[in-house]
Amino acid sequence: LFLLSTLMVFAYETIIIKFPDRENWVKAYYKKVGLEAILQYVPAGQGSNNWTKSVVVHSYNQSTYPISVFLTNSTAKLLKANPTAGYKTLRLTDNDAIVGRCTKNYGKIQAQCEFFRVTRGYEGIVTIHYMNKDKDDFMENYNQWYNIIKGAKLYNSYYRDERMLDKAEYFEL
């Protein structure tokens, strides 16, 4: 019994995102500090500060907030940064939520459209944020990206070297 309880401490949670087949997305930024990890993916040739589209994944290990509370707090912060559009709830359950919006230019912040997902992970809360600075492209690919963000999967492994996954499509939380 003791051995089984210690295995939980050494579990490795990862996220799998299936990017569009014809697009080459690359990791632009990754940092893990304490109980938080943040990762940013952008199309190849772009960077963490100069992107047209971006997927940001943020994990909060050991976070026990209800999803609805976490979503409300997170979107309030995003609205404070750019209040030009409210969020529309697209999916809301006890363990998963997705909201969307399109903003206008505000101060130094460029207009963008986005999906913001908050989901319960094995070890805490994970957010997945897809942003696109081209509204026409966002609307043209709305269903595809909604399904990508909705379909992102969390995977829990007890072995760090268990890599049955495509390394381009996952990262350790």
Give me the pLDDT at residue 5, please.
31
Query: What pLDDT is attached to residue 172?
Result: 56
Residue pair 43/141 in contact by the 8 Å Cβ criterion: no
Judged against a pLDDT cut of 60, whether residue 168 lies above it is answered with: no
Is 158 exposed, middle or buried, given 0-12, 13-18 or 19+ CB atoms closer than 10 A?
Answer: exposed
Query: How far is the C-alpha of 9 from the C-alpha of 58, rounded, in Å?
Result: 20
- Structure confidence at residue 36 (pLDDT): 87
For residue 94, pLDDT beyond 60: yes
CA 77/CA 87 separation, integer angstroms: 12
For residue 7, pLDDT beyond 70: no
Is 173's pLDDT higher than 60?
no
- When pLDDT is averaged across residues 116-137 and rounded to a whole number, the result is 94
Residues 6+ apart with CB under 8 A from 142: none
- % of the chain at pLDDT higher than 70: 83
Nearest Cα neighbor of 67 from 100, 35, 96, 38 is: 96
Main-chain dihedrals φ then ψ at residue 130, nearest 5 degrees: -100, 125
Provide mean pLDDT across the span 24-31.
92
pLDDT averaged over every residue in the chain: 85
